[in-house]
Structure 1
């Protein structure tokens, strides 16, 4: 099933997809791009509550329980068979259903919900005439602020990586990247 088909399936079966996300899906589907070359063991964001990568891969049975349980449709099967977090058209609301549905214990309850992703703001956000502020206005954690240069900045202590800023960005200037493991 293609990414577009997965998106439309999620649109029809889940509770919320933003208008911007729907528009982005149409624009993305219209763009013709060559598939990315991937490493032998691709690195992709794991679902919330995932054990460290090696432990997660050892414990996960690839049963798809977390994928089926996600009401937002953002936990998907990666080409390697393991689940991955795909925040592109809908954000993660931290409901924890993916964690509670994991029979193998590869996903563990979190003391504080965090996807392990953080936004990085690109050059598309800077508008010299009028600042957009969409990411600031929609952030449920109030973790986005506009810095002195007019570029959004993130407060890592407040951010939980939900991806709402990515979903709502009309300029496509937000990318989510995994944060470095703290070893805690």
Structure 2
């Protein structure tokens, strides 16, 4: 028969306490983006990591692996189509 391991009260409350997992925030481009009509590319122009890609007649997408959350695209978007989703 296997022996059970004994833990102190301190170990139970400190060592094994679960740390809250923070969900990473994401930048999201809404459907109100003017690129649907071919007018604007200001967020892609200011992105230092080139994380925003553009497709014809579709809203731009943000590559979460490249995005460093510098939020320069938020300031560049004059219609506030980019938001932070937490």
Gap regions ≥5 residues in structure 1: 1-51, 57-115, 179-184
After superposition, the Cα gap between the structure-2 partners of 1:139 and 1:55, relative to the gap in structure 1 and judged at 3 Å, is closer
> Max radius of gyration: which structure?
2
Using the size of structure 1 for normalisation, the TM-score is 0.32
CA 1:53–1:142: 2 relative to 1, 3 Å: farther
Change (3 A) 1:55 1:164: same
SS at match of 1:171: coil
Q: How far apart, CA to CA, are the structure 2 residues paired with 1:118 and 1:55? A: 15
2:7 equivalent to 1:54: no
User: Relative contact order (alpha carbons < 8 A, sep ≥ 6): 1 or 2 greater?
Assistant: 2
Contact 1:121 1:174 in 2 (8 A): yes
Shift >6 Å, 4+ stretches: none
2:44 is paired with a residue of what secondary structure? helix
- TM-score normalized by the length of structure 2: 0.63
**RMSD of aligned C-alpha atoms?**
2.6
Asked whether the equivalents of residues 131 and 150 of structure 1 are also in contact (C-alpha less than 8 Å), the reply is no
Residues 148 and 129 of structure 1, relative CA distance in 2, 3 Å threshold:
closer
Q: What is the match of residue 176 of structure 1?
A: 84
CA contact (8 A) 2:36 2:59 kept: no
